[in-house]
Chains A and B, each alone.
Chain A
Amino acid sequence: MKHIKVLGPGCAKCKTTYNNVLEAIKQTGIQADVTKIEDIMEMMKYDVLTTPVLMIDEVVKVKGRVADVHEIKQLLIA
């Protein structure tokens, strides 16, 4: 079971990242829960400067840009 978090204040890029994550999970069939973190206070705990941020199991994998489905799939399998 992987824990995925998408951090971002709800902008277009953050939504795209979130949807890409859902798609990647569907395609790989990996067990994972996805949390969207839009609250700025919560976000600052992770000391992010650029959004969106993609975290897998509390590790920042991608920040400041949208990760595409293919890339997320590879991160999930790794």
Chain B
Amino acid sequence: MFNWLQFFADWLVFSVFKLSPKSHLGEALDFFVLDTIKIAILLFLITILMGIVNSYFPVEKIRNYLSRNKMYGLEYLFASSFGVITPFCSCSSVPLFIGFVKGGIPLGITFTYLITAPLVNEVAIAIFAASFGFKVAAIYVATGIVLGILGGFVLGKMKLEKYLSPWVKDIIANARTEEKLQEEKLPLIQRFPSITKEALNIVKGVSLYIVIGIGIGAAMHGFLPTGFFEHYINKGQWYAVPLAVLIGVPMYSNAAGVIPVVQVLVAKGVPLGTAIAFMMGVIGLSLPEAMLLKKVMGWQLIAIYFGTIAFFMILSGYLFNFIL
């Protein structure tokens, strides 16, 4: 699918700039050109696609649907899948949390949504697809959905309501079912301009991180020998996966920049499962989010929440190392 891009990058770097394909600089620049264009195209397409889906399923509609319907466990799957299609900014996590429990949605399902929404987003999917191919991107999305379901289910079973802030408990006590949402019925053609604009905004917002990430990746790609990391990080070390997640969690918001770097780490010998676990830690859990959640949860609950998710991330890292 991206063969023509490879041709273009090769032509630009090796014919126009007259760099040797064997030189470190040539190899690095070729990688940089190819990856930048590939990510830009995919990012734009996927954000538009997600924008269209989201414009028909805004988060208010999802909340009200989950609030009205009890589906004997299937609601975990719904909440998790909805988490994929809605855009998410960690600063929305508190209003979202309150908005969900206010509608009588159980804590476990609220957690499911809160886990998947940041973990699987349009930026991550696009960069995964560009860097690792569609198969790995699909595996990442599927893992994110399963992780949200499992995490939310386990957290829901733990009876954690007692660790919520008192005012949140009041809200839960007064929870009531949400009404069906009054929707504006706009044809797609009229929704399209604002969707495209928003997609462009997203691309613009992360472009700097991506370019920096690809830049670092390109330098490593050009100058480090293949298999460079194999010696240090390999499947044999049991502690590599947990360590990767632990390092990933405090790294924040540069998911867009991290993936292109990790792509090169994998090419140079880091096991893919370890790398995916690391990226899930970076993207899915962040310290600023923990600080925000402090407003609605006691620190024990935040610790249990982060601990459970990290545990499942580590588990999926091992699983991928085992099967891939």
Contacts and interface: CB of A to CB of B under 8 A. Distances in A.
Do most interface residues of chain B lie in helix, strand or loop, or is the interface mixed? Answer: helix
A52 B102 CA distance: 20
B40 interface: no
Interface string B157-188: 00000000001000100000000000000000
Contact of A49 (B63, B91, B296): B63
Contacts, number: 56
B84 to A, nearest CB: 16
B251 interface: no
Interface in A5-48: 8-14, 40-41, 43-44, 47-48
Interface in B80-130: 87, 89-92, 94-96, 98-99, 102
A41 B167 contact: yes
A51 B295 contact: no
Contact of A40 (B59, B60, B63, B295): B295
A48 B198 contact: no
Given A51-B89, A66-B201, A9 B94 contact: yes
B63 A9 contact: no
Interface residues of A, number: 20
B176 to A, nearest CB: 12
Given A49-B63, A50-B59, A66-B201, A44 B95 contact: yes
Interface centre among A13, A51, A66 (most CB of B within 10 A): A51
Given A14-B91, A40-B94, A50-B59, 13 more contacts: A9-B94, A11-B90, A40-B95, A40-B296, A41-B167, A44-B171, A47-B99, A49-B60, A49-B63, A49-B92, A51-B89, A64-B59, A64-B87
